[in-house]
Amino acid sequence: MSTQLVLAEREPALALERDASCRLERAVRQSYQFIWRCLRRWGIRPDAAVDDAAQRVFEVAAKKRHRIEPGHERAFFFKTALLVAAETRREARKRRETPDEVALLAELDPAPGPDEAAEQCRYRLMLDLALDRLPMDLRAVFVLYELEGMPSAEAADLLEIPRGTVASRLKRARSRFCKEVRRLGALPRTNGGGR
């Protein structure tokens, strides 16, 4: 068989490979920050662990790029991120790396005052802790709708659940989230711990 004939037979396969790779690369660039925020909000800490988890999501996508339907890359990333987040949290629990709420709050300068950055950091930590208390089915809907600003119809499509289920989960998630925020707001502020 001539070299030209072999190359001609391989050309369609090479074109498909290039197309899948380019499509995936474009989708990763468009979705990276979204997936990173979702992983963080699903309880992956610290930020370095979020980076690792995001990397795992996109490694899975790269391996399965030919099976990802064009136009559905973000949904694939999202579903994979849910699985990676659950696996990462399980691994952390096995290593007993679950953060203590009071210890996490103590890392911040609790003194009220003009330092807006410290207060924002405290609020973000309270958000993370409150989200950690939500079951994953409620947390996923809450994060997509309330924090990512995704319309409920798009969230339903991404989660592959009926729109009514999104609405009912969102209602329950809001209620539980508010209870957790009130509970966390009642935690005593610590002085940052003496070193």
Residue 70 vs residue 119, higher pLDDT: 70
pLDDT of residue 123: 84
Reduced 3-state DSSP string for the chain: CCHHHHHHHHHHHHHHHHHHHHHHHHHHHHHHHHHHHHHHHCCCCCHHHHHHHHHHHHHHHHHCHHHCCCCCHHHHHHHHHHHHHHHHHHHHHHCCCCCCHHHHHHCCCCCCCCCHHHHHHHHHHHHHHHHHCCCHHHHHHHHHHHHCCCCHHHHHHHHCCCHHHHHHHHHHHHHHHHHHHHHHHCCCCCCCCCC
pLDDT above 70 (res 166): yes
Give the tokens for residue 28: 């990763």
Residue 192: pLDDT band with limits 50, 70, 90: very low
pLDDT above 60 (res 27): yes
Quote the domain boundaries for residue 29.
13-97
Q: Give yes or no: residues 76 and 134 share one domain.
A: no
Q: What CATH code is carried by the domain that includes residue 152?
A: 1.10.10.10
pLDDT of residue 120: 78
Q: Give yes or no: residues 153 and 114 share one domain.
A: yes
pLDDT of residue 7: 46
Residue 31: pLDDT band with limits 50, 70, 90: very high
pLDDT above 60 (res 1): no
Contact 79, 161 (CB under 8 A): no
pLDDT digits (tens, 9 = 90+) for 9-20: 556 666 667 777
**Average pLDDT in the chain:** 82
Q: Which of 97, 131, 151 is the last residue of a domain?
A: 97
| Overall number of domains in the chain | 2
pLDDT above 90 (res 3): no
Q: Give yes or no: residues 46 and 91 share one domain.
A: yes
pTM, full prediction = 0.70
Q: Give yes or no: residues 143 and 193 share one domain.
A: yes
Q: Give yes or no: residues 82 and 138 share one domain.
A: no
